[in-house]
Amino acid sequence: MCSIIGFCDKRAQYEVVKTALLKTTSRGPDASRIIDTGNGFLGFNRLSIMGLNDAGMQPFELDGSYIVCNGEIYGFRKLKEMLIKKGYTFKSDSDCEILLPLYKEFGTDMFRMLDAEFAMVIYDAETESYIAGRDPFGIRPLYYGETTDGVLSFASEPKNLVGLCHEVKPFPPGHYYKDGEFICYYDVSKVNKYNKQDDLDAISKNIHDLLIKGVEKRLDADAPVGFLLSGGLDSSLVCAISAKLLNKPIETYAIGMDIDAIDLKYAREVADYIGSNHHEVIINRNDVINAIEPVIEALGTYDITTVRASIGMYLLCKAIHEQSDIRVLLTGEISDELFGYKYTDFAPSAEEFQKEAEKRVRELHMYDVLRADRCISVNSLEARVPFGDLAFTDYVMHIDPERKLNTYNKGKYLLRHAFEEDHILPEDILMREKAAFSDAVGHSLKDDLAEFAEASYTDEEFEERCEKYTHATPFTKESLLYRDIFEKYYPGQSGMVVDFWMPNKTWPGCNVNDPSARVLSNYGDSGK
């Protein structure tokens, strides 16, 4: 990960920009630089992943224009070759150095050309204006706001802008900003026509081949790569595919509670099967409670399920940072939004399933993607998400939703079936029932959080304190605890998250008051 910042006006003050950029040093601990564009400032904190020498340091400059980008541009070498033929020269092996020449050649059409995870801000010297853009899933974070004296500002995290801007907003994924407008260049959730010609065999082959390509792209790094392994379907597939592609032992990492970890035994089974160098991190109740505040400070959210799931991920990434030289982590996020959660087994129709998938994909940047980014980046690591590969997700989103419904007596069957013939995972792992990450780290994790919150407020204090929050009003003592801590670090900025992540309460079996799958009637073997 890296962090970027842009204060887009001559009125911007260098010391203000410098102080703001310092707040996300953990995203880019290797080097820091701020340049004066002549019409504001661009700043960059670097975590070296591609092109590790000083020549890869940003901001990059071309003919008086500048760019800062937190991103991975997959297949950048082919684009670089094309630009060299057009007469451009390059000083580094950084993938992001191609972006200014690409912008010079294609303008904002460049955004549609990128197979990438990115957040960027460009200063165009010719028009004396700023352009910003973000990848279609919002895998790389970007926020914006106007300072109290009217300076338009962009930054990697809200903490860069809180206290400077009255309102901090997430930059919409799949959009670019130009001349005061946000323009959508790619809506990954929008499906106009389903692919109904592919039968089950064709669907399985395409899912299989496209996911492998998505993983393969994300193994390209000049820095050491590791893998988060929960023992669930998604992370296990990413690890197994990677081990096969690399044809050598990979470094896998798992976490669990000291008394009732569910995931650890499954992660160990996968690690043994694929021959990885496996590492376990064991945590206890004190670790969980002590992590609540730093996790919420890092996340910039009060959402219940996001905070719960982040506790284990944050502590695991902290251990990886402290105990290894790993810089890049591959993760299993974005599979559930595409193939279904436990609660989507209750979808009353294929149309409703699809509408829910589209909603979840649109909102990913506020929930699972936010969690993965902050837990990993605050520990000076970079996240890569193979299930967010654009070719893969485009195909899966266009599969006839009738085929995604759980009519197979097994959730996410299409994904499981796609890898049955490979035998790259044990059968029981490939067909293992889904367990939410926070639950699978240990049921006691969620219970410890709820008990701590219950002891933090009397019933009278709970009723009184909830009343002051009119947006996303807390409805349990746990949600109030998270909101109170959130307001300590991000006062008045609750609108950055639209609401609490919850199952679709309008569906049969889903009218619940807790986001955990444990409260659903179909939880079943997920907790074993």
Contact 153, 163 (CB under 8 A): no
pLDDT band at 436 (very low <50, low <70, confident <90, very high): low
**What H or E segment, with its residue span, contains residue 75?**
none
Domains 3-184 and 200-452 agree in fold:
no
CA 334 – CA 507 distance, rounded (Å) = 22
> Closest by alpha carbon to 135, among 75, 187, 213, 207?
187
| Domain spanning 3-184: CATH 3.40.50.300 | no
**What H or E segment, with its residue span, contains residue 509?**
none
pLDDT band at 525 (very low <50, low <70, confident <90, very high): low
pLDDT band at 96 (very low <50, low <70, confident <90, very high): very high
pLDDT at 526: 56
Query: Per-residue pLDDT averaged across 31-55, rounded?
Result: 91
pLDDT band at 437 (very low <50, low <70, confident <90, very high): low
CA 154 – CA 441 distance, rounded (Å) = 36
Tens digits of per-residue pLDDT, 463-487? 999 999 999 999 999 999 999 999 9
| Alpha carbon of residue 129 to chain centroid | 29
pLDDT at 528: 56
Contact 446, 308 (CB under 8 A): yes
Q: Active-site residue 466, yes or no? A: no
Residue percentage of the chain with pLDDT more than 70: 98
Could you give the 3-state DSSP secondary structure of residue 195?
strand
Tens digits of per-residue pLDDT, 368-407? 999 999 999 999 999 999 999 999 999 999 999 999 999 9
Q: What is the mean pLDDT of the chain?
A: 95
Tens digits of per-residue pLDDT, 300-329? 999 999 999 999 999 999 999 999 999 999
Residue percentage of the chain with pLDDT more than 90: 91
Q: Is the pLDDT confidence value at 433 over 90?
A: no
Q: Which two tokens stand for residue 31?
A: 């080097």
Q: Is the pLDDT confidence value at 60 over 60?
A: yes
Class assignment of domain 200-452? alpha beta
Query: Per-residue pLDDT averaged across 87-91, rounded?
Result: 96
Strand 152-155 and strand 328-330: pairing?
unpaired
| Alpha carbon of residue 389 to chain centroid | 12
| Alpha carbon of residue 71 to chain centroid | 12
Task: Write phi, then psi, for 221 (nearest 5 degrees).
Answer: -155, 145
Q: What distances in angstroms separate CA 62 from CA 34, 35, 43, 476, one per listed residue?
A: 16, 13, 16, 53
Q: Is the pLDDT confidence value at 299 over 80?
A: yes
pLDDT at 19: 98
Query: Per-residue pLDDT averaged across 503-525, rounded?
Result: 87
Contact 128, 174 (CB under 8 A): no
B/e letters for 374-386, b = 16+ CB within 10 Å, e = fewer, are bbbbbbbbbbbbb
**In angstroms, how far is the first alpha carbon of the chain from the final one?**
35
pLDDT at 521: 84
pLDDT at 55: 87
CA 51 – CA 90 distance, rounded (Å) = 12
Domain ranges of the chain: 3-184, 200-452
CA 338 – CA 519 distance, rounded (Å) = 22
pLDDT at 516: 87
Strand 60-62 and strand 65-73: pairing?
antiparallel
pLDDT at 48: 85
> Closest by alpha carbon to 44, among 207, 173, 154?
154
pLDDT at 79: 96
> Closest by alpha carbon to 314, among 326, 328, 296?
296
DSSP structure class, residue 345: G
| Alpha carbon of residue 240 to chain centroid | 21
CA 180 – CA 110 distance, rounded (Å) = 19
Query: Per-residue pLDDT averaged across 177-196, rounded?
Result: 96
SS3 sequence, 250-290? CEEEEEEECCCCCHHHHHHHHHHHHCCEEEEEEECHHHHHH
Transcribe 325-343 into DSSP letters.
---EEE--TTHHHHH--SG
Tally the C-alpha atoms within 13 A of residue 411's C-alpha that lie toward its C-beta: 26
- Which is catalytic among the residues 2, 96, 165, 317? 2
pLDDT band at 86 (very low <50, low <70, confident <90, very high): very high
**Among 18-32, 92-106, 434-448, whose mean pLDDT is lowest?**
434-448
Q: Which two tokens stand for residue 169?
A: 């907003």
